[in-house]
Amino acid sequence: MGTLCKQIENIDKGEKDYNSLEKIEEETKSFFININPLSLQLKLTLTFVDTKKKEYSYPPWITFVHQLKSNNIGIIIDYNYLSIYSSNTFKLIYSIEPKKNNTIMNEVKYFGLSGFIELKNNDLLLWTSKIIMIYKKNKNSYKLLQIINEFKQGTNYIKYSEYSRYRDKEDECYDLNSLHELRNGLVVSCNSYGLKFYSKNNDKYNLISKLKIEYNVENILEIKENNLILFQKKSITYSSRCVIPSSSSTNNYYRVSFYNIKNNEEKILVEDKANFSSFSRNYSEASSKIKYIIKDKYLFISLSNLFYIYDISQNKELIKEKEIKIKLLCNYFNDLIIAKDLNEEKIKLYQFKDRVLKFYNDFPFQDFRKIFRLNNYNFLIYSNNQLKLLEIK
């Protein structure tokens, strides 16, 4: 953390997105009844600066941003540590540095912090691709409570590389993709095995069940108790060493499905595939997760260059349109969403009205990597090493 310098600018001079069909956006509609959809202004900027200034050093990299219940924001930097900032002033409140804990580092050969969530009981769960680190809140600080090594639970797999003429066997692998808290208080791990469910008892989280799923589960969406939407992907990479330069391609097989936990029934909603060549412009998209937004009873899904809209209440597909090449980014408000036009490489607002999606206007800010809406209807956007707060005028 000694290499991190915070530069804050106050420019104010004048990552609740709904996760359930049982929640609707009526409060949002009334809130914005007289608001111009493009009336955003830049309020705060937080820039992370490289202080080493060595030949091959770089500014700290913003890896992951998420809002806490206190309306503070957590930022993972360089895959190494989590810093918590005030969302009103961008003032640093607290930092958690797992790499300084020997117990944690003894559990993994390679450490890369992927994400975090805050539970209803205020516990903070951080994860890498193999382990879960649980921190208990104590006033304004956090203490390590428990480490769960999912890799050692016997659910890892042998990873193979597919070559044109032969196959090479690689090491045992495991991918922990995301964590979620269900309404009944259980914690769900989405991973390359499928789903794992944890319950807290006597201040410890215990694995109570696991479900093997055919594809790698990236995320889930709880639509009602015992009913989930699973976002899944299976990737196979083919490489050729017979050409110069060597080439590779990746086939992604996507699946979005309803899953009933109680009776273990899965009903496939979307099943598709996309190919990515190492010589193509979109090869970096092969590792991207499925993007989705839910608005009332409609589920918007973008994967690769494919786009879908589903009416979940009727299990009916409204749109499957290969000509609409967009990547979903965020809910805006009312009937508007923010998406990236993959043809023009431009951030735009789209309107979903009368069961039709159409272009509404260009988004007033363009230079950012990711965006999400805060609980107070403002927005956070961030690029590689800069975070900005956008405020509704």
Q: How far apart are CA 256 and CA 319, in angstroms?
A: 15
Residue 52: DSSP 8-state: S
Residue 311 has pLDDT above 90, yes or no: no
| pLDDT, tens digit, 9 for 90 and up, residues 240-294 | 655 555 678 888 999 999 999 988 899 998 898 888 887 676 667 778 899 999 9
Residue 304: DSSP 8-state: T
Among 324, 327, 336, CA closest to 370 = 327
Mean pLDDT of 295-307: 86
- Pair 126, 82: CB distance under 8 Å: yes
The least confident of 92-106, 196-210, 322-336 is: 322-336
Q: How far apart are CA 256 and CA 13, in angstroms?
A: 46
Outline where DSSP puts E strands in 11-130. 40-50, 62-67, 73-77, 81-85, 92-96, 115-118, 124-127
| pLDDT, tens digit, 9 for 90 and up, residues 111-167 | 999 999 999 999 999 999 999 999 999 888 999 999 999 999 999 887 655 444 444
**3-state SS assignment for residue 38:** coil
| pLDDT, tens digit, 9 for 90 and up, residues 23-51 | 434 444 444 444 566 688 999 999 998 87
The pTM is what?
0.86
Residues 6+ apart with CB under 8 A from 74: 65, 66, 67, 68, 82, 83, 84, 85, 116, 118
- Pair 238, 251: CB distance under 8 Å: yes
Give the structural domain span for 208. Answer: 4-392
| pLDDT, tens digit, 9 for 90 and up, residues 59-115 | 899 999 999 988 899 999 999 999 999 998 999 999 999 999 999 999 998 899 999
Outline where DSSP puts E strands in 60-173. 62-67, 73-77, 81-85, 92-96, 115-118, 124-127, 131-138, 141-149, 157-163, 167-173
Number of domains in the chain: 1
Reported as a pLDDT band with limits 50, 70 and 90, residue 56 is: confident
The CATH number given to whatever domain includes residue 367 is 2.130.10.10
Residues shown for the chain: 393
CA distances from 284 to 191, 250, 281, 362 (A): 21, 10, 8, 25
Q: What is the pLDDT of residue 172?
A: 80
Q: State how far Cα 28 lies from the chain centre.
A: 23
Q: What is the pLDDT of residue 33?
A: 40
